[in-house]
């Protein structure tokens, strides 16, 4: 069973071909970093147009790299949401068109389900397991009970962790994308130099909050020298201090989720970490130490499967196809699509408001007035 996967929900155009024996036959990702860098963040309109321009060619290249023809496919899977709606529409329409022309089943995949199931593609993890999903738009702890069966234990009450990394990078002038830049700067920094808050530490439950920590970083940033070597040192120390505070909060919440899982299932779960922030080496180290202390298995898929990619979408397509969970060509792209619709809303989590940077030119103001797209 071979499935073509398409991912266009944010700023990566991706196409992949995966088979049911967990073989990734092709996995292509075209980053739009260069298009968005001048704006300091993802511009939804620019993203949608770039997906439109590149997706057809990328699909053709993926099929060629995999050495398969459309007739060899068992189905076509495309991210159906949540995400920036213009991009999602481009991916869904392309997927539907290929499926319609070649008479194949179409599968609309929840992007979060793609992340959630990626550890089954990389490591064959069995259900149920505990998932820590940390990306630019989401920060959640979930029990993955099965395909299409998720139980949310915790989510963020304000910012996602990746979003906090991106904003910290921006306020320190480290550029875009922010997460890897903060991690790089933190490598030679002193995490004890700035006393930052540890959000939610010790509180009951598994929810997250990062906006207070972000504000504390902003206040600390105002006090550091404007230039020179002293500034570089202070920026490194502030990044290290931020990363340490965020990690401590993340570890505390995950420990609570392990306890919640044990009381639900009377067993210690495999802990899977997924999403772009899972690329962070320091966080991985801390999670490894937690898993060791808790006698839990930690699975962190390879980096290429942690950040946005289409292999995870193709794989989720395979899992759904095996269960007969296909979608009609009338599927409507979904800007919002929670994995556990029964979980009560918390703060403004999940509202993923993509904002352009605060610019001062009239062109920037004009763009912002048209392009703030709440999703
Ligand atoms: O999963 P992803 O590729 O896209 C979303 O669905 O959001 O995650 C992107 C996020 C961005 O916020 C990026 O800054 C963050 O993941 N990220 C990192 C690192 N690499 C990517 N955050 C911290 N450390 C990293 N090394
Ligand atoms: Zn993602």
Give the pLDDT of the chain (375 residues) as one tens digit per residue: 999 999 999 889 999 999 999 999 999 999 888 888 887 778 888 888 999 999 999 999 999 999 999 999 999 999 999 999 999 999 999 999 999 999 999 999 999 999 999 999 999 999 999 999 999 889 999 999 999 999 999 999 999 999 999 999 999 999 877 999 999 999 999 999 999 999 999 899 999 999 999 999 999 999 998 888 889 999 999 999 999 999 999 999 999 999 999 999 999 999 999 999 999 999 999 999 999 999 999 999 999 999 999 999 999 999 999 999 999 999 999 999 999 988 988 875 444 434 343 333 444 443 443 343 333
Residues 348, 349, 351, 352: is their CA dihedral positive or negative? Answer: positive
**What number of other Cβ atoms are within 10 A of residue 129's Cβ?**
22
Nearest CA to ligand 1 atom 10: 136
Nearest CA to ligand 1 atom 22: 179
The radius of gyration computed from the CA coordinates of the chain, to the nearest angstrom, equals: 20
Decide: 41 in ligand 1 pocket, CB within 6 A: no
How far is the C-alpha of 276 from the C-alpha of 301, rounded, in Å?
11
How far is the C-alpha of 285 from the C-alpha of 238, rounded, in Å?
19
Torsion of CA 155, 161, 166, 167, to 10 degrees: 70
**Separation of CA 147 and ligand 1 centre (Å):** 24
In degrees and rounded to multiples of 5, residue 275 shows phi and psi of 100, 165
How far is the C-alpha of 222 from the C-alpha of 10, rounded, in Å?
31
| pLDDT score at 175 | 84
How far is the C-alpha of 268 from the C-alpha of 265, rounded, in Å?
8
**Site to substitute for ligand 1 among 84, 162, 300, most atoms within 8 A of C-beta:** 162
**Residue 193 C-alpha from the chain's centroid:** 30
For residue 273 the two structure tokens come to 């970490």
**Separation of CA 191 and ligand 2 centre (Å):** 28
**Separation of CA 83 and ligand 2 centre (Å):** 9
Decide: 114 in ligand 1 pocket, CB within 6 A: no
Decide: 275 in ligand 1 pocket, CB within 6 A: yes
| pLDDT score at 211 | 94
Atom of ligand 1 at shortest range from CA of 137? 7
Decide: 280 in ligand 1 pocket, CB within 6 A: yes
Q: For residue 239, which ligand has an atom nearest its CA?
A: 1
- Give yes or no for a contact between 55 and 92, defined as CB atoms under 8 angstroms apart: no
Decide: 239 in ligand 1 pocket, CB within 6 A: no
Decide: 44 in ligand 1 pocket, CB within 6 A: no
| pLDDT score at 369 | 36
Nearest CA to ligand 1 atom 14: 179
- Give yes or no for a contact between 244 and 189, defined as CB atoms under 8 angstroms apart: no
- Give yes or no for a contact between 240 and 232, defined as CB atoms under 8 angstroms apart: no
Q: Which residue has the tokens 């490598």?
A: 187
**Site to substitute for ligand 1 among 172, 183, 307, 310, most atoms within 8 A of C-beta:** 307
How far is the C-alpha of 50 from the C-alpha of 352, rounded, in Å?
21
Give tens-digit pLDDT for 259-300: 999 999 999 999 999 999 999 999 999 999 999 999 999 999
- Domains, the chain: 2-117+305-371 (3.30.420.40), 127-301 (3.30.420.40)
User: Cis peptide leading into 82, omega within 30 of 0?
Assistant: yes
Torsion of CA 30, 24, 301, 178, to 10 degrees: 0
Atom of ligand 1 at shortest range from CA of 9? 6
| pLDDT score at 347 | 72
Nearest CA to ligand 1 atom 8: 276
Decide: 10 in ligand 1 pocket, CB within 6 A: yes
Decide: 276 in ligand 1 pocket, CB within 6 A: yes
């Amino acid at each position: 069973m071979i499935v073509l996967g398409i991912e266009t929900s944010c700023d990566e155009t991706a196409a992949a071909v995966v088979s049911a024996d967990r073989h990734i036959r092709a996995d292509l990702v075209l980053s739009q970093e260069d298009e968005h860098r001048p704006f300091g963040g993802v511009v939804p309109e620019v993203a949608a147009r770039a997906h439109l321009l590149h997706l057809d060619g990328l699909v053709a290249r993926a099929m060629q790299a995999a050495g398969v023809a459309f007739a060899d496919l068992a189905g076509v899977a495309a991210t159906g949401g949540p995400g920036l709606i213009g991009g999602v529409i481009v991916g869904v329409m392309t997927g539907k068109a290929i499926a319609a022309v070649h008479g194949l089943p179409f599968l609309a995949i929840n992007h979060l389900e793609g992340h959630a199931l990626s550890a089954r593609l990389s490591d064959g993890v069995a259900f149920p397991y505990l998932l820590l999903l940390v990306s630019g738009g989401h920060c959640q702890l979930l029990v993955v009970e099965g395909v299409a069966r998720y139980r949310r234990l915790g989510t963020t009450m304000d910012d996602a962790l990746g979003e906090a990394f991106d904003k910290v990078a921006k306020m320190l002038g480290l550029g875009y994308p922010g997460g890897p830049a903060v991690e790089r700067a933190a490598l030679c920094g002193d995490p004890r130099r700035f006393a930052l808050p540890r959000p939610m530490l010790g509180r009951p439950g598994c929810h997250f909050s990062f906006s207070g920590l972000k504000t504390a970083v902003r206040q600390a940033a105002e006090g550091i020298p404007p230039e020179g070597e002293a500034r570089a040192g202070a920026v490194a120390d502030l990044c290290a201090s931020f990363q340490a505070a965020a990690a401590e909060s993340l570890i505390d919440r995950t420990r609570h989720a392990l306890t919640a899982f044990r009381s639900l299932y009377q067993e210690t779960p495999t802990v899977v970490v997924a999403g772009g922030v899972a690329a962070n080496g320091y966080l991985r180290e801390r999670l490894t130490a937690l898993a060791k202390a808790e006698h839990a298995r930690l699975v962190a898929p390879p980096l290429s499967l942690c950040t946005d990619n289409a292999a995870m979408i193709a794989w989720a397509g395979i899992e759904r196809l095996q269960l007969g969970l296909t979608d009609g060509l009338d599927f409507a792209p979904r800007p919002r699509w929670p994995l556990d619709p029964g979980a009560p809303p918390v703060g403004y989590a999940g509202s993923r408001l993509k904002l352009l940077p605060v610019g001062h030119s009239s062109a920037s103001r004009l763009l912002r007035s048209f392009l703030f797209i709440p999703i």
